[in-house]
Amino acid sequence: MLVSFSFAADSLAIYGFQGIDITESGQKECATLNVDYTQKESISENGILSVRAEFIGKDSDNSYVLAKINGEETRIWPEEFVCDSGCWARVYIPELKYTPTEIEICLITGGATQKATLFSNSTIGLYSSPILLIENVSPEKILLGQRAELKTIIKNIGSRDADIFVQFVGEDTRAIIEISSFDIVEGDPKATATIKAGETRIFSYYIKPNLTSSYNLPSSILTFTNIFGEKQKVSSNHPALSVLDPNQADIIMISDGLNEDMFKFKVKVTNNWSESFYGTIEIMPSDLVENSQRDIVILGNDEGEFEFMTKVLAPGNYSISAILLDGNDTFTTTSTSFEVNKVDFVFEIILAIVGGIIALAIFLVIYFWEN
């Protein structure tokens, strides 16, 4: 193992940590210790907690070490430990030299773990070291058919340079959320670089989703050789991306039929986006309909139906359509055609009376004939 340049490093045992040993599955044990390095004259060194642990049982079990530093949690899975002379994982604590630090360290065993040990010779100290932070940034939303520009931002907030290898679309088998897989359509899928102390580098590349949906994008995986001579991996976050239908709203007309020479119908508006839709429905021709214009609001990913009725119409053939305006776009329904037939009720009444008189005359002739 490479000898590190340590200004001050202590075994956790001197803070009363006696180690944790678990021989059953589904268990959790924790220990809390307080350290204070603020009195040590350190200019360029940064805090590192070195955790030594061992897991015996099924590979990829859901056992892990949880390090809570001043309330901020870091979860360390078994595969993240580098095993040479013991199995070690490193947790950077940039604030160690500035503030008293409370550390809660827990060992949690999964269902297939036979034994897990967190060793008391785990250490904490100040080191001259690179400290690498990696973040993936994506647009909040794009329209279907567009490319999304993703950025991987890498910062070295430590005191030494680092040679890195970064894979921009990495596999995260421990992601709590469902991750969507994407291919990079423009830009390199990986890069090597030297990140100097205090430097920030930004790498850009593009993906192109082919479905409207909300996506959790893959993380980027950075690898570098730390000051302990280990190949250490640092994973980014999983940014979210919403891919929207190019049309925020869809509009259709639903016929309810004629009622006393008036045509009744509904206009259904569907909002395809997660943000509210503000628009106006206009019925054409406007002179056929009472209140032919109506302002509407449809909440995100919701729909609404709006009732309309024509005026009393004279006999004839008619065609109407609905237009939806939102200040930027216009959406129009297909035309709906219908026919109004006016029945001459006076003629029908006269015809019924004449028919009644004829029927009565026939009845009387038959009656008197028989008598």
Please give the Cα distance from 366 to 361 (Å, whole number): 9
Q: Which pLDDT value is given to residue 186?
A: 93
State which H helix or E strand residue 26 sits in: none
Q: State both tokens at 149.
A: 């520009």
pLDDT, average across residues 325-346: 77
- Position with higher pLDDT, 328 vs 337: 337
pLDDT in tens, 7-56: 457 999 999 999 999 998 889 999 999 998 887 666 678 899 999 999 98
Q: How confident is the model at residue 172 (pLDDT cuts 50, 70, 90)?
A: confident
pLDDT in tens, 92-117: 998 888 889 999 999 999 877 788 99
Q: How confident is the model at residue 201 (pLDDT cuts 50, 70, 90)?
A: very high
Domains 6-127 and 132-243 share a fold: no
Is the pLDDT confidence value at 6 over 50?
Answer: no
Can you give the residue ranges of every domain in the chain?
A: 6-127, 132-243, 249-340
Percent of the chain at pLDDT > 90 equals 55
Q: Which pLDDT value is given to residue 2?
A: 37
Q: Degrees (nearest 5) of the Cα angle 77, 79, 83?
A: 120
Neighbours of 74 (CB within 10 A): 15
Q: Which CATH number fits domain 132-243: 3.40.50.10800, 3.40.50.460, 2.60.40.10, 3.20.20.210?
A: 2.60.40.10
What class has domain 249-340? mainly beta
Determine whether 2 is exposed, middle or buried from the number of CB atoms within 10 Å of its CB (0-12, 13-18, 19+). exposed
- DSSP per-residue letters across 211-247: S-EEEEPPPPEEEEE-TTS-EEEEE----EEEEE-SS
Please give the Cα distance from 236 to 338 (Å, whole number): 60
Q: Which residues contact 53 (CB under 8 A, 6 or more apart)?
A: 65, 76, 78, 81, 87, 89, 107, 116, 117, 118, 119, 122
Q: Which residues contact 30 (CB under 8 A, 6 or more apart)?
A: 20, 66, 104, 105, 106, 107
- DSSP per-residue letters across 66-80: EEEETTEEEEE-GGG
Q: State both tokens at 281.
A: 């429905």
State which H helix or E strand residue 366 sits in: helix 345-370
The tokens 């205090």 sit on which residue?
Answer: 198
pLDDT in tens, 275-311: 899 999 999 999 999 889 999 999 999 999 999 999 9
CA distances from 8 to 46, 48, 50, 226, 283 (A): 10, 10, 13, 17, 78
For residues 53 and 119, is the Cβ–Cβ distance under 8 A?
yes
pTM of the model: 0.75
Q: DSSP letter at 355? A: H
For residues 335 and 321, is the Cβ–Cβ distance under 8 A?
yes
Fold of 6-127: Jelly Rolls (2.60.120)
Q: Which pLDDT value is given to residue 41?
A: 63
Q: Which pLDDT value is given to residue 208?
A: 93
Q: Which pLDDT value is given to residue 222?
A: 96
Residue 78 Rama label (left phi>0; alpha psi -120 to 50; beta): alpha
